[in-house]
Amino acid sequence: MFVFFRQITGAGRGLGKELAEQLAQEGCELILTDINEEGVKQTAEEINSRFEDKVAVYFKANSETLYRYLEVLISSAFFTPYWRVP
């Protein structure tokens, strides 16, 4: 039996964190990444404590990693300059 993972980038906070929580609630196995290593670690710990170890691995986004069974990739990480909307 294969286990398929969902990878979520930008999972350390904001939309990425929320998506990770929603997918964990639905029973998905997760791989979380973020450039903020402490943020993604905290997200993984919170999800694992609430949803029975759904995060298989988390790491800083610039790590080199191989994926054998990656079914879904959610890339929610983005950068935008701060500006005000009139």
CB 76 within 8 A of CB 10: yes
Identify the helix (H) or strand (E) that includes residue 49: helix 37-50
The pLDDT of residue 20 is 92
Per residue in 30-69, pLDDT tens? Answer: 888 888 889 989 999 999 999 887 776 776 655 555 455 5
Distance separating alpha carbons of residues 9 and 34, to the nearest angstrom: 6
Reduced to 3 states, what is the DSSP secondary structure of residue 21? helix
The domain spans of the chain are: 5-55+62-77
Strands (E), the chain: 5-9, 29-34, 55-60, 70-75
Asked if residue 1 has pLDDT above 80, the reply is: no
